[in-house]
């Protein structure tokens, strides 16, 4: 049985259309038809009903589909494992990280970990904090680093780090008063999943004149501030490099008490390599 036949069958079953399957697989339609025919001959059964140009799975096709997916998954896992072995990796660790964490504290920690444990292959999946709980719950990743506490009950969640939040303005701003910059600039909001709902209410109570602009990505927020498009309340670890490089500046607050940004460590089943990374992470995070 050829792996190409299984790939073709799975694509055709998904779309119930040989033409669309051929486009997805970059094959000609006759090639798709040939693969399906050869697979059916090998299994001695029809996998599709054919009525004119329309196709649909037969009962046998429905029954065989999960087996085909399992065989293809096993094949791809084997190739992936063999490739890792060729590169000298003996274990694998998959980390699901929120974009704000992946672009701030994670790179330095990850580099030190990989230097210390070169036989562990590290894969990083960048997903939003809202999705990390599901990634771990479905075992798509071993460890999650999130700015939002997951709602799934089957996960182990602990607070890894609490980060101070500060009012950040363009570096060329001369005025260092909270009220002045909030009046001069638009307030860029909703770039963090956890603290904006309460924070913006506090800001509007004290500064009812404030104008807002929603930007849901931290990196874009920082670039907007650099260009003088606004100010925002951001966690220190996300802006520490820009502060050191004098691209951004901190504005002292008086009426507003900034919230705390929490980084959560999320796990389900702790493998040896996951435990190694968690211990390493906990020892390094205090240095940030």
The chain-wide mean pLDDT, for the chain, equals 89
* Tokens read off for 260: 């705390």
Do 276 and 155 sit in the same domain of this protein? Answer: yes
Tens digits of residue pLDDT in 18-75: 989 999 999 998 999 999 999 999 999 999 998 877 899 999 999 999 999 989 888 8
pLDDT in tens, 90-131: 578 899 999 989 888 888 899 999 888 888 888 899 999 999
The span from the CA of 215 to the CA of 192, in Å, is 9
Nearest to 13 by CA among 48, 50, 63: 48
Looking at the fold, whether 152 and 172 belong to one and the same domain comes out as no
Are residues 227 and 271 both part of a single domain? no
Same domain (yes/no): 245, 188: yes
For the chain, how many structural domains are there in total?
Answer: 3
Q: How far apart are the C-alpha atoms of 148 and 130, rounded to whole Å? A: 7
Provide the residue range defining the domain that includes 178: 163-259
Identify whether residues 71 and 130 lie together within a single domain.
Answer: no
* Residue 176 confidence (pLDDT): 73
- Per-residue confidence (pLDDT) for residue 235, from 0 to 100: 94
- HEC profile for the chain? CCHHHHHHHHHHHHHCCHHHHHHHHCCCHHHHHHHHHHHHHHHCCCCEEEECCEEEECHHHHHHHHHHHHHHHHHHHHHHHHHHHHCCCCEEEEEEECHHHHCCCHHHHHHHHHHHCCCEEEEEEECCHHHHHHHHHCCCCCEEEECCCCCCCCCEEEEEEEEEEEEEEECCCCCCEHHHHHHHCCEEECCCCCCHHHHHHHHHHHCCCCCEEECCCHHHHHHHHHCCCCEEEEEHHHHHHHHHCCCEEEEECCCCCCCEEEEEEEECCCCHHHHHHHHHHHHHHCCC
State whether 141 and 215 are in the same domain. no
Residue where one domain finishes, among candidates 31, 54, 85:
85
Domain final position from 85, 106, 136: 85
Residue of higher predicted confidence among 244 and 269: 244
Q: What is the CATH number of the domain that holds 189?
A: 3.40.190.290
Residues of the chain with pLDDT > 70, as a percent, come to 95
Q: What pLDDT does 281 receive?
A: 87
Whether residues 15 and 141 share a domain: the answer is: no
- Are 252 and 167 in a shared domain? yes
- Read off the pLDDT of each residue in 226-236 and give the average, rounded to a whole number: 95
Residues 213-241, mean pLDDT to the nearest whole number: 94
User: Are residues 189 and 71 both part of a single domain?
Assistant: no
């Amino acid at each position: 049985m050829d792996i190409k036949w299984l790939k073709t069958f799975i694509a055709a079953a998904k779309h119930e259309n040989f033409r669309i399957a051929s486009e997805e697989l970059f094959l000609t339609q006759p090639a798709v038809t040939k693969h399906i025919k050869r697979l059916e001959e090998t299994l001695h059964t029809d996998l599709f009903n054919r009525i004119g140009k329309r196709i649909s799975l037969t009962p046998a096709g429905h029954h065989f589909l999960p087996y085909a997916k399992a065989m293809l998954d096993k094949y791809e896992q084997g190739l992936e494992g063999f490739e890792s072995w060729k590169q000298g990796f003996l274990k694998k660790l998959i980390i699901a990280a929120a974009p704000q964490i992946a672009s701030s504290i994670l790179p330095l920690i990850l580099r030190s970990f990989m230097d210390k444990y070169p036989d562990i292959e590290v894969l990083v999946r960048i997903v939003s904090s809202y999705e990390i709980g599901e990634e771990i719950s479905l075992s798509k990743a071993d460890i999650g680093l999130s700015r939002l506490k997951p709602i799934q009950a089957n996960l182990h969640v602990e607070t890894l780090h609490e980060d101070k939040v500060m009012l950040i303005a363009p570096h060329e701003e001369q005025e260092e008063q909270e009220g002045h910059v909030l009046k001069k600039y638009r307030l860029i909001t909703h770039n963090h999943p956890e603290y904006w709902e309460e924070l913006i209410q506090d800001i509007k109570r004290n500064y009812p004149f404030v104008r807002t602009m929603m930007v849901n990505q931290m990196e874009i927020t920082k670039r907007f501030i650099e260009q003088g498009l606004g100010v925002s309340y951001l966690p220190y670890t996300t802006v520490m490099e820009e502060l050191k490089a004098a691209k951004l500046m901190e504005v002292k607050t008086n009426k507003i008490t900034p919230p705390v940004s929490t980084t959560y460590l999320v796990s389900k089943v702790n493998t040896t390599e996951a435990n190694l990374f968690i211990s390493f992470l906990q020892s390094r995070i205090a240095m940030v």
